[in-house]
Structure 1
Amino acid sequence: MTGAVVAVSGCLSGSENDDPKSDTTNPGGDGVFTNIFVDGTELVLEFTDEASIDQVNVIDPDGELFAERSISTGVGRETIEIGTGYQPGEYDVVALEDDTEQTTQSILIEPDVQITDLRLGRNHPDEMFEGASEREIETEAILTLENTGSGPDEVRRLIFSGDVPRPTPDGFDESGIADTDSDINRYADTVELTAGDETTIYSQQMPFYSVDPNISCSSDTTEGEFQVILETVVQEGSPSETYTVTYTGENLIECDIDIEVAS
């Protein structure tokens, strides 16, 4: 369900570029690292040919040991799984030889998940997932998500609130996201977004279902506003977007629904 994995280099102490999300291949000539970056859900460490170390410790933003690895002589690359259960923030990578620190480099690992587009299936039927039913096309939404940060994350819940016919009910504990890999209607567990990743998801809770009219549709046009909220595993705060919406027609079944991002 996710898009292609993109390797994103973090900011290394001593580099010429201070942007923590910029690509970096020179750690400042410390003689140990040539690069430190996040690839998918792994932290990747690359060493110089001259590196003389036997251990690497990774320290989390709270100053606690996150991971440690023994490094054999001549190893040019080491990977450390960070998954999607980590604390976002700046991590220190400490290289040691005989328990003596040789150098420390820092990397910012944090996601930045955003909703970049939302369309209604009823207005874009050709963009719905393969096998979508007529009811799903009429009632569900298509969302594009992007992670512009420097670390992976998972979306575990999709919420609609405000002026939609069927807002997400209180106490709804499913993800609300369609599992497009399943042959039967079911919810996805989570949707993974690695750094630099973009993906399309589909709602599976019928927010524009005409049988549950939380909003009316009239020939004089009914105007409203609704919010789409993502609950994520790592990112602090819930990514969200607000949309203005108009309903024009005699009833919700035959209603013309137009949406755009609220200014």
Structure 2
Amino acid sequence: MNSHDWTRRTVIGGIATGIITALSGCTGSSNHVFEDVFVEETALVLEFASESPVEQVNVIRPDGELFAERVISAGSSRETIEIGTDYQPGEYEILGLEDGDEHARESIVIEPDVQITDLRLGRNHPEAMYEGASDRVAESEVIVTLENNGTGHEQVTKLSFTGDVPRPTSDDHEGSGIYNTDSDVRSDADSIPISPDEEVTIYSSSRPFLLIDEQVSCSPDTISGEFVTTIETAVRGDNLTETYEIEYTGEDLDNCQIDISS
């Protein structure tokens, strides 16, 4: 069972992106200005027709404010404008100006769309854990694969677990709950960057499957439940949640097989 806690603009943004992708080449050809407009990693890329007359390009944010302006040299075929990792998601307008007058207009939706594509328990897949993870760590942590299907960069800022897990993430938990694989000392990562069309694997650091108390039970007859994995992000500022079915089978928590399914 899957649960995506995105807002309605995800659907609208996805439709708009498809329309823009389909029409951008046609629009550019008809006005002899833009051959293509697209996002590459953290930058907006503008490609001009060879006969383009524009002398300046203004980029307008979704809220209507000026985001950037560039003077275009005669004969230029490409201009790159850095968006960065902290930007306003939504539809951007690109205005091509000649002698101060608008000569062409293009638009593009720049917005991330991060999804959880896979979740595995370290105890069941120790070979998939990060290098140097101890057996105890592998027994208690979770491996999560994320994919950004949007057109903009995103920063994943928190990973948490609630429901029928041995150690749910508490409301006052400090840190991101994401293991920092770039540090020699066990610590949480501040955030995890993910570019458009990129897939990343992250690891929990809060030990949600550390079997130390009676938050859950294990029985030879199998005890079923469900838990929710939540991803928090910086650019969109909302949460992505996925719900998983879980089964505990065994004599006790010390000898328990844990299986999950989505």
Do these two structures clear the TM 0.5 threshold for a shared fold by scoring above it? yes
User: Which residue number corresponds to residue 19 of structure 1?
Assistant: 19
Q: Does 1:209 align with 2:189?
A: no
Residue 95 (structure 1) shift: 0.7
* Equivalences, count: 248
Give the AA of the match of 1:260.
S
Distance 1:24 1:250, change over 3 A: farther
User: Which residue number corresponds to residue 245 of structure 1?
Assistant: 246
User: Which residue number corresponds to residue 86 of structure 1?
Assistant: 87
What's the TM-score, normalizing by structure 2? Answer: 0.89
Distance 1:85 1:177, change over 3 A: same
**Secondary structure of 2:179's partner?**
coil
C-alpha distance in structure 1 between counterparts of 2:98 and 2:76, whole Å: 14
Distance 1:202 1:20, change over 3 A: farther
Give the AA of the match of 2:227.
F
**Secondary structure of 1:255's partner?**
strand
User: Which residue number corresponds to residue 128 of structure 1?
Assistant: 129
Q: Percent identity over the alignment?
A: 54
**Secondary structure of 1:144's partner?**
strand
Residue 193 (structure 1) shift: 1.1
What's the TM-score, normalizing by structure 1? Answer: 0.88
| Superposition RMSD in Å | 2.0
User: Which residue number corresponds to residue 49 of structure 1?
Assistant: 50
Q: Give deviations 1:37-65, integer Å, cap 9, x for gaps.
A: 00001111111121122211111112111
User: Which residue number corresponds to residue 146 of structure 1?
Assistant: 147
**Secondary structure of 1:126's partner?**
helix
C-alpha distance in structure 1 between counterparts of 2:227 and 2:143, whole Å: 15
Structure 2: which 5+ runs fail to align?
Answer: 1-12
**Secondary structure of 2:132's partner?**
coil
User: Which residue number corresponds to residue 6 of structure 2?
Assistant: none
Instruction: Tell me if the contact between 1:147 and 1:196 (Cα under 8 Å) persists in the aligned partners.
Output: yes
Please identify, of 143-152 and 75-84, the stretch whose mean Cα deviation from structure 2 is larger. Answer: 75-84
Residue 163 (structure 1) shift: 0.7
C-alpha distance in structure 2 between counterparts of 1:41 and 1:115, whole Å: 21
C-alpha distance in structure 1 between counterparts of 2:19 and 2:32, whole Å: 22
In the TM superposition, 1:1-263 aligns within 5 A as: 19-20=19-20, 25-29=25-29, 30-235=31-236, 237-261=238-262
